[in-house]
Chain A
Amino acid sequence: MVKIVAGITAAAAVFMLAGWLAFVPSQKEPAYRFVAAWGEKGSSPGQFNDPTGLAVANGELFVADARNGRIQVFDLDGNFRRAFGKTGKQPGELGRPMNLAVHDGELYVAEYFNDRVQIFALDGTPNRIIGETGSGPGQFNAPGGVAVTRDGNLAIADFYNHRVQFLRPDGSFILQLGTTGKTGVGPGRFNYPTDVAITRNGTVFVADGYADRIQAFTSDGRFSHKWGGPLAVNISGPFDGWFAVATSIAIGPKGNIFVADFYNDRIQKFAPDGTFLTAFGETGSKAGQFRHPVAVTVGENGDVFVADFLNNRIQKWRPAD
């Protein structure tokens, strides 16, 4: 009997070790170091009420300040520059702005409540609106994030429609990934996608939020690869390379992928093929700690900016020397 128990224990240990080696990657790069944090809860300039999206352009950081219905703009050291927008549905107004993108001198704002993408000049002038409420082509049900290709086409994470839509600059439909209104964990299916990022060569990366994984597609929409937990089939966890809801995705200057790992209170960094590189952050409210990082973006010099959701602040991180 003792031999049987010992045998089962040994087999379980071997099985767990094999699982660990197979599904928990080792760190390939040093972690990042904390540089600065700014913000607190409120509605004054420099304060936030749910920061939910970030983008960097021309030496400025754009922050979606969701419950305040505005975009706040800072220099890259956290000094307030300006703000625009207010809660509402009219052009120039915002309904829960989420993940942001900048392309060709314009800011693209996914509006969760207004079911549209609104495009502003970087000075805050509203330029145009794409989309409307619905589940048809070019319509949205709570868009969570947007990315723009080099030629100006849009890819939008259409959260409650469980799909990613590709649209032309005028909003006309090109194609969609996923099945409208249906969740799934197979390749090319989604479970509440939250954000999209596109590399210079056109590869499309989708933060498949509640599937706890990242999916990659070619520029014409063909599935390429996926990662996040064992086999990337909606298994969440706290280990390196696993996720507990991926809420934002960004591409660094060297083409690496940064993901806001919401419930794990960290940012994870990957090579484009999904190889885990490093992670940073831990749970808390002190410097360098997160209470649910919801959005991430990367500056041209590699500095990483994080929207620290429940702490109502922005954090700046830098690659370790």
Chain B
Amino acid sequence: MNHILRAALSLMIVIGALAPAFAMGQGYRLGVDGLACPFCAYGVEKKLSEIDGVERVETSIKDGAVIVIMNDGAALDETAARQAVQDAGFTLRGFTKLPAGDTGK
């Protein structure tokens, strides 16, 4: 019986340790025109990264898409995103919440 308890406890510890690694925050796809230049794309990345709860920002210069991945449990406020994009010198053209687990790739 002790063996079973010990095994169950070990399993719970392993699952608990691995859970954060597999947790994935909410993703958003932002539409921003004119991102071909690194000064532009990096500017949008930088301003969006300064928003609380943002885990990472990925820009695709080729297709003008910006993907924002939030920390687990955090949500991206559209007004904050719009302001960040505006601070970077651009206009937000689209704001789409991605399905759970979708990183936009």
Interface, chain A (partner B; CB < 8 A)? 50, 52, 66, 96, 98, 112-113, 142, 144, 159-160, 192, 194, 209, 245, 247, 262-263, 292, 294, 309-310
User: Contact between B36 and A292 (Cβ–Cβ < 8 Å)?
Assistant: yes
Out of B36, B46, B61, B62, name the residue touching A112 (CB < 8 Å). B46
**Count of A-B contacts with CB under 8 A?**
41
B39 contacts across to A, CB distance below 8 A? 98, 112, 142, 144, 159, 192, 194, 209, 247
B42 at the interface (CB under 8 A from A): yes
User: Contact between A160 and B38 (Cβ–Cβ < 8 Å)?
Assistant: no
User: Contact between B61 and A310 (Cβ–Cβ < 8 Å)?
Assistant: yes
User: Contact between B42 and A294 (Cβ–Cβ < 8 Å)?
Assistant: no
Out of B36, B37, B42, name the residue touching A66 (CB < 8 Å). B42
In the assembled complex, the Cα of A160 lies from the Cα of B86 at a distance in Å of 12
Q: How near does chain B come to A305, taking the closest CB pair, in angstroms?
A: 17
Q: B31-57: contact bitstring with A at CB < 8 Å (1 yes, 0 no)?
A: 000001111001100100000000000
B62 contacts across to A, CB distance below 8 A? 310
User: Contact between B46 and A142 (Cβ–Cβ < 8 Å)?
Assistant: yes
The 9 A-B pairs with the shortest beta carbon distances in the complex, nearest first, are A96-B42, A112-B42, A52-B38, A113-B46, A50-B38, A262-B37, A194-B39, A245-B37, A144-B39
In the assembled complex, the Cα of A112 lies from the Cα of B89 at a distance in Å of 15
User: Contact between A292 and B37 (Cβ–Cβ < 8 Å)?
Assistant: yes
In the assembled complex, the Cα of A96 lies from the Cα of B37 at a distance in Å of 13
